[in-house]
Amino acid sequence: MFDYCARPELLKDRVILVTGAGRGIGAAAAKTYAAHGATVLLLGKTEANLTQVYDEIEAAGHPQPAVIPFNLETALPHQYDELAAMIETEFGHLDGLLHNASIIGPRTPIEQLSGENFMRVMQVNVNAMFMLTSTLLPLLKLSQDASVVFTSSSVGRKGRAYWGAYGVSKFATEGLMQTLADEVDTVAPVRSNSINPGATRTSMRAQAYPGENPLNNPTPEEIMPVYLYLMGPDSTGINGQAFNAQ
């Protein structure tokens, strides 16, 4: 496990947007960031799940989060512009962006992977991630010390059979992270890095490995040290790096 111990007020007064914040790793990250002082913007497609995370953060006495229902599969360019305008109006700037939302798609040989399924995975995992990054970058540049964290995978670092669209999308994730890192290096107070969560006890993992005992994998909460490290000031100057949570 990534070895890092965050101080309680690590993210005090920071505004951080988390995609896929309604469950799994996204929900854990949102609650963890809030517990360390951040105002968290909870973005996801299922409002009921986001509201539950919101209620848990409120009940714990942490800074009031914001719920942003947003469907990354169907969002049009003008909706990203409206999202950025809303964040600027309400919060003035953005200190962090965690790209966590993604879908796995069918695990099948490329020969049997339909174009429709391939494009759906790329829409959520790559196109939407690009749109969010490019649209929110001006708000991140208004921060004194901003961090963009991309969620990768071991199959986005070395290709493996039958991971098709998902694997390709994670290679694209690493590419976008590296490209952004090189662009902002020394010219903006923004850093860009990726995390491979590894085998974690989530519904996506269960979908990918139905025969596996989920209790053998750590919970999302247990892999949070690297998420805190990269989102807080202790990682200032770390840019363009690929991290493993485990």
Residue 3 inside a domain? The answer is: no
User: Is 0.85 topped by the overall pTM?
Assistant: yes
Question: Which residue among the candidates 33, 166, 227, 229 is catalytic per the annotation?
Answer: 166
Residue 114 inside a domain? The answer is: yes
Q: For 133-186, how does the pLDDT look when each residue is reduced to its tens digit (9 = 90+)?
A: 999 999 999 999 999 999 999 999 999 999 999 999 999 999 999 999 999 999
Residue 64 inside a domain? The answer is: yes
Strand-strand pairing, 66-69 and 39-44: parallel
Residue 75 inside a domain? The answer is: yes
Residue 143 inside a domain? The answer is: yes
Residue 10 inside a domain? The answer is: no
Among candidate residues 107, 95, 189, 113, the one with its CA nearest the CA of residue 153: 107
Q: Is 80 a catalytic residue?
A: no
Residue 160 domain boundaries: 15-244
3-state secondary structure of 190: strand
Among candidate residues 31, 28, 30, 34, the one with its CA nearest the CA of residue 9: 34
Write the DSSP assignment of 194-228 as a string of letters. EEE--S-SSHHHHHH-TTS-GGGSPPGGGGHHHHH
CB 191 within 8 A of CB 237: yes
Amino acid letter for position 20: G
Q: For 218, which DSSP code?
A: P
Length of the chain in terms of residues written: 246
Domain count within the chain: 1
Which CATH number belongs to the domain containing residue 67 in this structure?
3.40.50.720
Q: For 123, which DSSP code?
A: I
Residue 131 inside a domain? The answer is: yes
Q: For 190-232, how does the pLDDT look when each residue is reduced to its tens digit (9 = 90+)?
A: 999 999 998 888 887 777 778 888 788 888 899 999 999 999 9
As to burial, measured by CB atoms within 10 angstroms (0-12 exposed, 13-18 middle, 19+ buried), residue 217 is buried
Residue 9 inside a domain? The answer is: no
Proportion of the chain above pLDDT 90, given as a percent? 90
